[in-house]
Amino acid sequence: MHTNEVTVRFCETDALGHVNNTSYFIYFEEARVQFIASLGYGMDVKDWRFILASTKCEFKSQGYFDQKLKVESYVTRIGTKSFELEHRVSCAQTGILIAVGNAVVVYFDFDNQVSAAIPDEMRTELEQHLVTEEGRV
């Protein structure tokens, strides 16, 4: 499991005073990028190998300006050419669950514009973060 924290900025809230729904996708993106970096893949866009195939978010409770959020990311599925990440956003102080997100990330060959098989060494790294409904693998 990979964890990072974010402090809600004023611009991420809406007229109702809570975190705008679109902001959670920014938090998920940051978590994905940091997760991929933790696997040893650099941030050089000329050597980037991932695309986002789908993403979703379920809102559980509200977040607010200046609140510290904890974003936990873990792998829930590893396929031949893609993997799924689950993101859990909670209040860093209280632990109250705020949102749950999911992303399907595809390993991609940009030169040929096609998906590609996940390399064995990356698969091994992903397996170390794999959590199923039954628990950590």
Q: Into how many domains does the chain fold?
A: 1
Structure tokens at 75: 């792998």
CA gap 107, 41 in Å, rounded: 12
List, for residues 43-53, the tens digit of each pLDDT value. Answer: 788 888 999 99
pLDDT of residue 48: 86
Report which of 78, 101, 81 is spatially closest to residue 89, judged by C-alpha positions: 101
DSSP string across 28-71:
HHHHHHHHHHHTT----GGG--EEEEEEEEEE-S--BTT-EEEE
Q: What is the pTM of this model?
A: 0.90
> What CATH number is associated with residue 104?
3.10.129.10
What gap in Å lies between CA 41 and CA 49, rounded to an integer? 9
Q: pLDDT tens digits for the chain (137 residues)?
A: 899 999 999 999 999 889 999 999 999 999 999 999 998 887 788 888 999 999 999 999 999 999 999 999 999 999 999 999 999 999 999 999 999 999 999 999 999 999 999 999 999 999 999 987 655 54
pLDDT at residue 135, rounded to an integer: 59
Q: According to the model, what pLDDT value does residue 113 have?
A: 94
Q: Check residue 131 and give its pLDDT.
A: 87
Residue range(s) defining the domain that contains residue 27: 2-135
Residue 45: what pLDDT? 80
- Of the candidates 38, 50, 37, the one whose C-alpha atom is nearest the C-alpha of residue 103 is 50
Q: What is the pLDDT of residue 46?
A: 80
